[in-house]
Amino acid sequence: MTTLLSPRGRLTPRSTRRPNKRFTRMELLSPRKLSVDLDLEKVAPAPSLMREAETDKTLSLIESARGLLVGCNINLPGIVVVGSQNAGKSALLEALSGIRFPRGDGLVTRCPITVFLEVDETISQPMVTVASDPEFTSDDRVDVKLGDERPAIDAAMNAAANGQDFSDTVVYVRVVRSAGPTFCITDLPGITSISSAASARGDRSGDIEAQTIALTRRWCESPGVIIVCVLQALDDFHNSQALRVALEADPMGSRTLGVVTKVDLLPTTGEFASKMNAERPTDIKLPGHGLLAVCGKPPSSSGALAERSLFATHPQLACLRPDQWGMETLAQRLVAIQRRIVSQDLSRVTDEVGHHFEDVRRSICEMPPRTVSNEQKQRLLSQAIGASSIEFYELCMAMDTCYTREMHVAARTQEKCEAFSAQVEARVPDFLSDELRDEIADQLGESTGVYLNNFIHGNVFRRLVKQHFERPLAEESEALVTGVVEIVKHVLKAILHKSLGSAAISHERLADKLTASAHSLVDEEMKAALRATAEIVCAEMRSPFTQDALYGTTMAIFERFVFGDASSSAESNGLFPASFLEAASVDCKADRADVHPAATNAANVRKLQTSLHIYKQILLRRTSDMIPMLVRERLLFSLQDRLAPDMLLDHSLLAAHLYEEPQHVTDSRVEAERLEQKLKLALEKLTLARDSLKAH
């Protein structure tokens, strides 16, 4: 029985016998009727056909994954058609794909058009889908029968160009038929110096040429892309701008195939064959795939017959080798190149998609958790507040050193305390100076019956202490409190946002409310600290007092020195300035000798100066410990004790701020999850394609 093997292996009767004929894949896919004797009981595909079928399956999986990976900056093997304006790119693509592209004068292809050629053996009618997205799910998607697609493509290009001469926005076209090669091919706007808007006026624009060259270069630079450079037969195509751009991106020519079109317009004589073979010294060599001449007719029965007739009869074309011409040869060449690139790059691309998939999954895990039930909300609040309280305690105790400098509460507070002591000391005058001596003398002259041993309890002493100590102590104490408060508020805000983690982004009102609640506690402790420091300053000013032995000891050393006790000279060294001791010695000795009444007043002034000087050291030492200690207690440790319990008292109010996540967070989550699903599906397809390729 004689049968026919159709393009997809269907068996049909035929009377003609052609035994022992071995067919190439493209012959099997060709519409020409090929007959062969087959025993229906013993039909088995040849190993080469099995390998081709597996390769077709691999390419089909890659094409189905391609649309899923658009926008992911991952390059899959594909084909891009480049050339100058009116070089015949669209006509070539029509011949390869069977679809009809818009025609006209000037720059007709105004944006990249990516065509997916797919095979579905179950369909009876070839279909074409035109859309603005590679997934073909947009609202502007148009489904038409093959042959009716030109208006839809034209409308999609107009929308993408949006009134401009050209755009880099891609229009996607999917062609599904029951048989044929499987690949992805992109037609780019031709390189031109005349915009379509200005062509009627003859105006020239340098911008449009630079833009079309830049677009061509950008597509050619993608690794794994097969560059089909379309050249006009009548041109000196070895000087083609498009060919130069292609070879800049592919210097070895391993991805570049030159296709010479419009050969039917060649004159009967010329050196076309020499240019095709790059025999001239100035000709560009394409060692990888060379040049291929085509008539641009579809590989149908009539088209193939007309093309064969042209190359057999035309004087300049008849001398070309069979592998240098023909649409069928071009299709075979493209499939072979794509197979090679796929076998080289598929593992790398699959690994790249896998890494990207893991990155997206990780980003989703780092997104704010969804809070649905009240229990989840309470748990989130308790964890955030508890973690903040513990972390604040560790910072106060200098147990955590992993933060930046401004987060070190203990160290920054210590700096404020040291600054407090230094500022108070700088603002309290030197009571031993001559400037203060006259003021002390004036005030002492207003009092009577003042004795040295009673200085610290006398009105003059208290008045001078209050006059010179109260304001510096009060103001610097307040500055210390407010400085520590500023540090604490900054740290609390940072650790609360940190403890909420990514939830702080989605629940901004909750983060702000928690921060405001913590700051409210800080304000309460600040008020308490200000009251306490004010009470200390008031007590110091109301009733000067000390039991510090330094006071009595130092006064005794002073008296022994001024009255000539030689043993006290060494003791007084460093306690008083030498000039003051000498002047005080003269005044006190004159007072003892009863030389003049004024001498008594002078001696008393010296003694009061000494008393105030010693008390200043005692008071500064006492307040430098007491006030900072109180501030630390209130604003660090008392606050830490209150932080978690007091904030959790309002947990129901705080939980009310855990509304549904903001729209921008929801949109980000949906987009990430959608991308995760696309990458997962693409990874599955690429993994299957890689495993299939390795197996065969």
Spans of all domains in the chain? 2-44, 55-358+686-695, 374-660
DSSP letters along 597-633, please?
HHHHHHHHHHHHHHHHHHHHHHHHHHHHHHHHHHHHI
Span 239-243, mean pLDDT? 86
Residues 6 or more apart whose Cβ sits within 8 Å of residue 136: 67, 129, 172, 174
Given a contact cutoff of 8 angstroms between Cβ atoms, the answer to whether 641 and 625 are in contact is no
Distance, in Å, from the CA atom of 219 to the CA atom of 161, rounded to the nearest integer, reads 18
Query: Lowest mean pLDDT: which of 142-156, 306-320, 402-416, 445-459?
Result: 445-459
Given a contact cutoff of 8 angstroms between Cβ atoms, the answer to whether 152 and 145 are in contact is no
Q: Most confidently modeled of 25-29, 407-411, 622-626, 643-647? A: 622-626
Three-state SS annotation for 23-62? CCHHHHHCCCCCEEECCHHHCCCCHHHHHHHHHHHHHHHH
Distance, in Å, from the CA atom of 473 to the CA atom of 427, rounded to the nearest integer, reads 9
Span 550-563, mean pLDDT? 86
**C-alpha angle 168/284/240, rounded to 5°?**
35
The residue ranking higher by pLDDT, 332 or 31, is 332
Residue 490 is predicted with a pLDDT of 94
**Dihedral (CA of 660, 662, 663, 665) sign:** negative
User: What is the number of other CB atoms lying within 10 angstroms of the CB of residue 218?
Assistant: 14
Angle of helix 374-396 versus helix 409-427 axis, rounded to 10: 50
Report which secondary-structure segment, H or E, holds 13.
Answer: strand 11-13
Residue 45 is predicted with a pLDDT of 40
588 pLDDT band, cuts 50/70/90, is confident
Residue 373 is predicted with a pLDDT of 66
Residue 628 is predicted with a pLDDT of 96
Cα–Cα nearest to 179, from 30, 352, 310, 286: 30
Residue 696 is predicted with a pLDDT of 60
What totals of helices (H) and strands (E) does the chain contain, helices first?
A: 22, 12
Distance, in Å, from the CA atom of 587 to the CA atom of 600, rounded to the nearest integer, reads 8
Among residues of the chain, what percentage have pLDDT more than 90?
Answer: 17
pLDDT 10s digits, 645-668:
888 776 665 665 555 566 777 778
For strands 183-187 and 113-119, give the pairing: antiparallel
Given a contact cutoff of 8 angstroms between Cβ atoms, the answer to whether 599 and 591 are in contact is yes
For strands 225-232 and 78-83, give the pairing: parallel
For strands 2-5 and 35-37, give the pairing: antiparallel
Given a contact cutoff of 8 angstroms between Cβ atoms, the answer to whether 133 and 678 are in contact is no
Span 682-686, mean pLDDT? 85
**Dihedral (CA of 256, 93, 138, 677) sign:** negative
Residue 417 has pLDDT above 50, yes or no: yes
Q: What is the average pLDDT value for the chain, to the nearest integer?
A: 78
Span 494-503, mean pLDDT? 76
17 pLDDT band, cuts 50/70/90, is very low
**C-alpha angle 620/393/412, rounded to 5°?**
45
181 pLDDT band, cuts 50/70/90, is confident
Cα–Cα nearest to 546, from 473, 607, 619: 619
Span 631-638, mean pLDDT? 94
**Is CATH 3.40.50.300 correct for 55-358+686-695?**
yes
Residue 168 is predicted with a pLDDT of 83
CATH superfamily entry for domain 374-660: Dynamin, middle domain (1.20.120.1240)
Alpha helix segments (H runs only) across 446-594: 459-500, 503-506, 508-542, 549-562, 568-572, 578-592
**Dihedral (CA of 321, 324, 328, 333) sign:** positive
Span 140-144, mean pLDDT? 89
Residue 620 is predicted with a pLDDT of 94
pLDDT 10s digits, 594-614:
656 666 788 888 888 999 999
Residue 522 is predicted with a pLDDT of 96
Cα–Cα nearest to 186, from 198, 199, 205, 171: 171
Span 417-427, mean pLDDT? 94
